[in-house]
Amino acid sequence: MSDDVMNHYPPLPRLPAHVGIIMDGNGRWAKQRGLPRMAGHRAGVENLQRILDAAMKFGVQIVTLYAFSTENWRRPHEEVTGLFNLLREVLDKEVAQLHQNGVQLRHIGDLEALPDDLKASILRTVELTRHNDRLIANIAFNYGGRDEIVRAVRAIVAEGVPAEAITDEVIAAHLDTAGLPDPDLIIRTSGEMRLSNFLLWQAAYAEFYVTSILWPDFGEEAFYEALRAFANRKRRFGALDDSS
Ligand code: FPP
């Protein structure tokens, strides 16, 4: 296919403002090539850059990326430290470029259990990029939906909010995603059809898109395909269709 055809994406009638991505399949990608699992995670980081560029190109405003879950601590120690080191590397080497491109980096999840230097580096990056407005990239690192809800409930109780004053809005305002709209679309790569503790509260009315493509291979065209599928979905938010 010529570059011209490859770069042509018909405009879509509707775009999700916020896309959540479960970046799954790095391990399988590496195994298929006879490489160690960390090589798959490295390829996953490279793809992350491609998808951030694609999100800006297509006009998505917010992406939330599931990079390390509260359950991922159960993986072998060397994979856990390998993933921490990868994040350190991204924060050291890639942030200047992301900042220049107008990306606002945020973090969701429990920072407290992360090594002090990583926590400090995340906080510095969030502070540095906080006024950027081209794309919000929310990195879910040591994130679990249940853990987030538990922390929110604890904060609400600690503030002494009376039971009858607790509403959807109060809970949402105490989550790590406070102030952001809920995801419209959640993409999961590599074929598994579950949420795996990702954005449990926020996903209430998200459209779900699963592809068998492994994360390192999920490029711009595959991302466009997910956006196209979203544009064709009918969202009812629990109500009836106009035609019903
Ligand atoms: C799932 O693949 C992926 C993860 C648990 C980590 C996702 C991480 C990245 C894309 C790179 C790290 C990102 C940053 C910002 C440091 P898997 O290992 O579960 O794959 P498998 O199911 O094929 O084994």
- Position 205 in a domain: no
> How big, in percent rounded to 5, are the helix, strand and coil portions of the chain?
45, 15, 40
In a domain, 183, yes or no: yes
Q: Is the CB of 20 under 6 A from ligand 1?
A: no
User: 224 is in which domain, residue-wise?
Assistant: 15-190+210-231
In the residue annotation, 176 being an active-site residue is answered as: no
pLDDT of 241: 74
Q: Which two tokens stand for residue 132?
A: 């950027």
Model pLDDT for residues 138-183, shown as the tens digit of each residue: 999 999 999 999 999 999 999 999 999 999 999 999 999 999 999 9
Q: What is the pLDDT of residue 2?
A: 45
In a domain, 1, yes or no: no
Condensed to tens digits (0 to 9), the pLDDT of residues 61-71 reads: 999 999 999 99
Cβ atoms of 159 and 173 closer than 8 Å: no
Q: Does any domain span residue 220?
A: yes
122 within a domain of the structure (yes/no): yes
CA-atom Rg of the chain in angstroms? 19
5 located within any domain: no
Return d(Cα 156, Cα 89) in angstroms, integer.
35
pLDDT of residue 134: 98
Show the DSSP H helices in 139-213 as ranges.
Answer: 145-158, 168-173
For residue 6, name the pLDDT band (cuts at 50, 70, 90): low
CATH number at residue 82: 3.40.1180.10
Ligand 1 atom nearest the C-alpha of 87 is: 16
| Mean pLDDT computed over 178-207 | 98
Binding site membership of 28 for ligand 1 (Cβ less than 6 Å): yes
Distance 157 CA to ligand 1 centre (A): 34
| 67 CA from centroid of ligand 1 (Å) | 6
Taken in order 102, 120, 155, 140, is the CA torsion positive or negative? positive
Number of domains in the chain: 1
Give the count of alpha carbons within 13 A of 212, CB side only: 0
Inform me whether the pLDDT recorded for 1 exceeds 80: no
Q: Can you list the alpha helix ranges (DSSP code H) found in 94-142?
A: 95-100, 116-128
In the DSSP assignment, the letter for residue 163 is: G
pTM metric for this prediction = 0.95
Average pLDDT, integer, range 10-39: 98
- Annotation marks residue 24 as catalytic: yes
| Residue 7 is assigned to a structural domain of this protein | no
Q: Is residue 8 part of a domain?
A: no
CA 95, CA 125: separation in Å to the nearest integer? 7
Residue 132: is it exposed, middle or buried by C-beta count within 10 angstroms (0-12/13-18/19+)? middle
Greatest Cα pair distance, the chain, in angstroms, is 63
Shortest-distance Cα residue to atom 22 of ligand 1: 25
